[in-house]
């Protein structure tokens, strides 16, 4: 395990003497110091973790100051720990400093990074590096040491800032989910509640982006309970707003989940469209049309309802066939005035035909189904014919038409 430390120019204070260092309660459960007094963190790290494991990042002036400190502490300069690859020759070259820090903390082994005495902006750059690296894997960062001043120049408590890194990572997870339903962070959180929440959000994301709306309902209660528990934690103030936004949205998904299928698919299509998931959204809208037609047919008469219920109970039943046949029936009535028949259920389909013929605006509704099918096919085959922005506008127009035909007008008389 490496211990990377950002060197400063803190030397022995002749007025106050050598300060006392101790670990906080959490770190004290894992480590103990060989002695309590050190001039600064560099000799403390060398004495307790071994010089061969300490990797200083340093400027010319910092090295000169710390070489004197080491001579006073150990009567040795420890020149072997000062690797030229970790030398900052230009304190204003932020990109080079970031590269040095990234290189020093690269690799697969665990490391501790100490930010206690770094010079001005360098610890800030180190923090940026840590956050960016931890988005891929926070496991290799064992601790982030910081010597917290308890009594100026006299007493320091070494604390672990890694929990704050987890807060930053959790904030990133929440913002990503809020923005586009993705959970890009694959690292494991040390905090169990954060770990569970990230996993649950990932599951919800998979359900939404695979259009598995029924499976979605199974996980919502668990995630709401976990969010409520995390909201009680005072430390989450940095991302409390994002968490509350997600909670409200998850509750919205929960309410959508208990609505009839046509409404459920339509509302989810509305949600996914502005996030840019156009193929998912048009697929859901196309299914919403099919469910709307099927639900409406059940309202046309008892014989039709019985026929559909028998079909639902049969071994051959699947929802796709029901929505496809119902949607196709309406579309074909518009195109050629034909009856869409299967081998059985002829009387039911005749009744459907009779009812549909009585609807004056059915032709317009059929055109709407054709337009939705055209956009779905176009997006499913690589959007070869239209620009994405054109498709987005067309999808929004179709959503508005669905709202007009199926909700406001309820053109087929769906009473379910």
| 224 vs 414, higher pLDDT | 224
The model's pLDDT over 56-82, given as tens digits with 9 standing for 90+, comes to: 999 999 999 999 999 999 999 999 999
Strands 2-6 and 155-160: unpaired
Chain centroid, CA 218 distance in Å: 19
pLDDT cut 70: percent of the chain above it:
88
Q: In the predicted model, what is the mean pLDDT of residues 83-91?
A: 90
Strand partners, 221: none
Cβ atoms within 10 Å of 149's Cβ, excluding its own = 13
User: DSSP letter string over 36-61?
Assistant: SB-SSHHHHHHHHH-GGGEEEEB-HH
pTM for this prediction: 0.74
Give residue 337's pLDDT band: very low, low, confident or very high (50, 70, 90). Answer: very low
pLDDT of 383 reads 60
Token pair belonging to 297 = 């047919």
Q: At what angle do helices 162-180 and 192-209 cross, to 10 degrees?
A: 20
First-last CA distance in the chain: 64
Q: In the predicted model, what is the mean pLDDT of residues 294-316?
A: 86
Give residue 183's pLDDT band: very low, low, confident or very high (50, 70, 90). Answer: confident
Q: In the predicted model, what is the mean pLDDT of residues 190-205?
A: 86
Q: Is the pLDDT of residue 360 over 90?
A: no
> What CA–CA distance (Å, rounded) separates 215 from 229?
23
User: DSSP letter string over 213-271?
Assistant: HHHHHHHHHHHHHHHHHHHT-GGGGGGHHHHHHHHHHHHHHHHHHTS-HHHHHHHHHHH
pLDDT of 134 reads 53
pLDDT of 93 reads 80
Cβ atoms within 10 Å of 387's Cβ, excluding its own = 9
């Amino acid at each position: 395990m490496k211990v990377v430390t950002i060197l400063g120019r803190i030397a022995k204070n002749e007025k106050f003497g050598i300060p006392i260092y101790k670990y906080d309660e959490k770190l004290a459960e894992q480590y103990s110091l060989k002695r309590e007094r050190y001039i600064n963190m560099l000799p403390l790290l060398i004495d307790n973790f071994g010089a061969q494991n300490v990797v200083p990042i340093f400027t010319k002036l910092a090295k000169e100051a710390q070489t004197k400190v080491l001579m006073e502490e150990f009567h040795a300069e420890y020149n072997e720990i000062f690797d030229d690859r970790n030398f900052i020759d230009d304190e204003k070259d932020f990109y080079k400093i970031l590269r040095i820090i990234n290189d020093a903390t690269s690799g697969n082994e665990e490391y501790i990074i100490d930010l206690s005495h770094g010079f001005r902006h360098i610890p800030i750059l180190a923090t940026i590096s840590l956050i960016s690296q931890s988005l891929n894997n926070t496991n290799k960062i064992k601790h982030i040491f910081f010597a917290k001043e308890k009594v100026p120049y006299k007493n320091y408590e070494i604390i672990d800032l890694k929990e704050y890194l987890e807060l930053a990572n959790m904030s990133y997870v929440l913002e990503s989910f809020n923005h586009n339903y993705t959970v890009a962070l694959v690292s494991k959180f040390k905090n169990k509640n954060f770990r569970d929440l990230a996993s649950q959000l990932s599951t919800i994301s998979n359900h939404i982006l695979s259009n598995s709306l029924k499976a979605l309902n199974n996980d919502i209660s668990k995630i709401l309970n976990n969010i409520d528990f995390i909201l009680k934690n005072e430390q989450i103030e940095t991302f409390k707003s994002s968490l509350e936004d997600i909670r409200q949205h998850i509750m919205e998904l929960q309410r959508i989940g208990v609505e009839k299928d046509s409404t459920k698919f339509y509302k989810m299509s509305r949600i996914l469209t502005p996030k840019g998931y156009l193929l998912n959204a048009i697929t859901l809208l196309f299914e919403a049309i099919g469910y709307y037609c099927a639900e409406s047919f059940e309202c046309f008469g008892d014989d039709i309802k019985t026929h559909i219920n028998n079909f639902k109970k049969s071994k051959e039943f699947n929802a796709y066939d029901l929505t496809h046949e119902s949607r196709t029936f309406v579309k074909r009535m518009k195109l050629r005035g034909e009856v869409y028949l299967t081998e059985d259920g002829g009387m039911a389909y005749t009744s459907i035909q009779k009812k549909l013929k009585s609807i004056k605006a059915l032709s317009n509704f059929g055109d709407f189904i054709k337009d939705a099918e055209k956009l779905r096919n176009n997006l499913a085959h690589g959007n070869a014919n239209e620009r994405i922005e054109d498709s987005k506008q067309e999808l929004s127009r179709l959503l508005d038409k669905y709202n007009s035909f199926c909700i406001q007008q309820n053109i087929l008389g769906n009473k379910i």
